[in-house]
Structure 1
C-alpha cells in the first residue's frame, strides 16, 4: 500500500490518526480465557499476549497464519569515525547472504513459517557522517519511512522488522539518547564487539552528534542521527499499526527506531511487544523506557530481527492455546 505521507509533518499526522485496539474483541478474548480448561493465570504471560493479539486483530479467537519478517539494510557515514569492528562492505555482503538464504534470520523465518523480505536502501550512498552534518535530508528520511511502510504486506497477521548496517549501533545509540535523554555513555555499547578504545571512540562520536543536532523532536532526531534502515523500520512499524497487524520488536536498534514513534505520538507502540532483551548493554534501559517486557532473554546480539523472529514461536504458542483449547463446558470438565 502506498504510504499516505510525503513529509515528516504528514507522517506525524498519520501517527496521530492510527487505529486503536478493538475493546470488544479484548473483552471477548478475556472471557474466553477465563473459560479455558486451566487454572486462572496458569499460562502466565501467554494469556496476556494472546488477549493483546486478539484485540489488534479484532478477533477473540484469532490464528497466526501469515507472519512477515522484513529486513532493511543501510550504510552509515559515521563509520568514517572508526566506530565499528567491521568495514562497511560487510553490509552489502550480508544482504547477499540474506537473499541467498544463508543467514540466521533466514533459518528462523523458515522455522516459524514467516515470509521474509529484504530491502537494501541506497547502500552505495551512505548517510552523512552525523558528527559533521545531519545524517539525512528530510526527503531522504521520508523516502526511507515510505519504503518501510510500503514493505508491509497488508495480508500479513504479524510483523517482525530487522536490520543490517555496519555502524548502526552508533546511530541507534545517538537516536535513543536524543529521544529518551541521558548521556552518550548511558546508551553506547560494544555493538559488533569493539574493544575498550573503540567503545570510548563510539561514545565520543555519539556525544558529538548529540551536541551538533540537539532537538526535542523525535522525528528530527531520527533524521539527523539515524540511518535509512532505522527510518524504514519505523515506517514499517507505523504501517503495521495502520493495518492492525501486531508487531514483535527486535533488539536495541529496532527499539531505538521504534522509540521515535513512541515519543512522536502517545500509544504509538501499543500494537507492539518486545521479542527479547539483547546482550547490547543499553537494550534493557531502552525496553524500560518503552515499558516493554521482553518475551525472551537469551544473550542474543546478532540483529537481523533474529530475537523477534524466535519470539514468533512464543506468540504462536500463546495463540494456539488461547484459540485451540477447549472450554470447561466443551470438555465436560468441572470448573471446581
Structure 2
C-alpha cells in the first residue's frame, strides 16, 4: 500500500505533523539537572538526550533498532555535463553497497544500524528538467511512497542518504526555488567538477528555474519538477518518520535539500531531525541555517551515501549513554549540586 497515494494525502501529512512529547522533554531536562556534573557541562550531548526523549516519549531513550536508508536514482539532466562521472556509476555503487564494499557499509555497521538500499528505476532516468518536469505526478508519488516504505514502527532512529550522479545539481535547484538567492550561491563542485563544470551547473539550473517559473510553489510541485526519485524518496521517508515520531539524522546537502520545498511551506517539518554533519558542499551551511539545524560534526565530508549521518549516530549513542548511565547526586551520595 502506498503511504502517499495522492497529492492530497501527501499535503495532508505535511499539514498534520505530530509534535514531540513535552512531558518527556521536561522529565529528561529534570534528569539532566540531577546528574553528577555541572549544569550544561556535556554541551550538545545534553540537548541530544532531551531531543531523543521528546520523540521517543520516554525519559531515557534507547537505540536498539536503527536503520540507515540509502535511495538511488538517475537524472536526465546529466546529459549537460554537470558531473565528473557518468550516470552508470549510480548503478555500480548500488552494486557495491550490496557487496558490502562502500563507506556506508562500514559506517552503518560501526553505528549499529541495519542498512537498506532502495534503487529507484535506475534504467529510467528522470526527464531533463530544463525542458520538462523531472517526474510526472504518479512517478513522484511512487518515489515518496518508496521512501516511506523503509520506515517501520519498530525503528528508534533513521538515517537517510542518497546515491545519484548529478544530484547536487538537483539539490541546488530545489534550494534556489524554495529559498531564493543567487543560483551560484547554491552550486558547488559536487563530485569534483572544475570551474567550467560549476558554470555548466549554474546555467542548467537557471534554465530549469526559468522553465518551471510559472509552476505552483508547492512542496509537491517543486519536488516533482526539479527533484529526482531518490530525493523525493528521502522526503517521503522523513515525513513518514515524523508521522511515527521517529527521529531522523540527515546527511549532507542533498538529503537536506530534499526537505527544502517542504520546509519553505511547513518550517516545522525538520523538528524531528538532527543534522549529522556539515558537508564540504558550500550550499550546505546556508541550507542548514535556513532549516534551523546545527550540525553535530564538521569533518569535511562530501561523499554522500548517508555517511555523515551514520557517523553522527555514534555521538547520539554517547549522549544517550551518559544520560541513562550517569548517577544522580542522590544515587552517588553527593550533597547538593556541582
Distance (whole Å) between structure 2 residues aligned to residue 15 and residue 183 of structure 1: 28
Give the gaps of 5 or more residues in structure 1.
none
**In structure 1, what is the equivalent of residue 108 of structure 2?**
109
2: CA distance between counterparts of 1:121 and 1:230? 10
Q: 1:219 Cα shift?
A: 2.2
1:291 positional shift: 1.1
CA distance in 2 between counterparts of 1:14 and 1:131 reads: 30
2:98 maps to: 99
> Counterpart in 1 of 2:20?
21
Contact persistence 1:148–1:233 (CA under 8 A): yes
Are 2:278 and 1:281 equivalent residues in the alignment?
Answer: no
Q: Secondary structure at the match of 2:258?
A: helix
Q: How does 1:176-325 map to 2 (within 5 A)?
A: 176-214=175-213, 215=215, 216-325=217-326
8 Å CA contact retained: 1:219, 1:264:
no
Is 2:122 the partner of 1:123? Answer: yes
CA contact (8 A) 1:261 1:269 kept: no
Q: Output one character per residue of 1:63-120: Cα deviation in whole Å (capped at 9) or x when no partner.
A: 1111110000000000011100000000000000001100000000000110100000
Q: Residue in 1 aligned with 2:57? A: 58
Write out per-residue CA displacement over residues 145-171 of structure 1, whole angstroms, 9 at most, x where no aligned residue: 000001112211001010000010001
Q: Is the partner of 2:8 in helix, strand or coil?
A: helix
Give the whole-Å Cα distance in 2 for the aligned partners of 1:51 and 1:41: 12
Task: Tell me the alpha carbon deviations over residues 157-189 of structure 1, each in whole angstroms, 9 at most, x when there is no partner.
Answer: 001010000010001110111111112111111
* Structure 2 residues without counterparts, runs of 5 or longer: none
CA distance in 1 between counterparts of 2:179 and 2:8 reads: 21
Match of 1:165 in 2: 164
What is the deviation of 1:192? 0.1
Name the structure 2 match of 1:75. Answer: 74
TM-score normalised over the length of structure 1:
0.98
| Residues 3, 149 of structure 2: 8 Å contact kept | no
Mapped partners of 2:193, 2:49: distance in 1? 39
Provide the rounded CA distance (Å) in 1 between the counterparts of 2:62 and 2:218.
Answer: 38
Q: Distance in 1 between matches of 2:5 and 2:185?
A: 34
TM-score by length of 2: 0.97
Give the 5 Å matches for 1:140-151: 140-151=139-150
Deviation at 1:7, TM superposition (A): 1.6
SS at 1:268 equivalent: helix
Say whether 1:11 aligns with 2:6.
no
Shift, 1:335, TM fit: 2.6
Give the Cα separation in 2 of the matches to 1:205 and 1:126: 17
Instruction: Give the aligned length.
Output: 335
Tell me by how many angstroms 1:3 deviates: 4.2
Q: Secondary structure of the residue that 1:293 maps to in structure 2?
A: coil
> Would you say the 8 A contact 2:4–2:144 is kept in 1?
no
Contact 2:267 2:291 in 1 (8 A): no
Q: Return the offset for 1:286.
A: 0.5
In 2, are the aligned partners of 1:25 and 1:59 still within 8 Å (CA)? yes
Please name the residue that 1:36 is paired with: 35
* Maintained 8 Å contact 1:178/1:221: yes
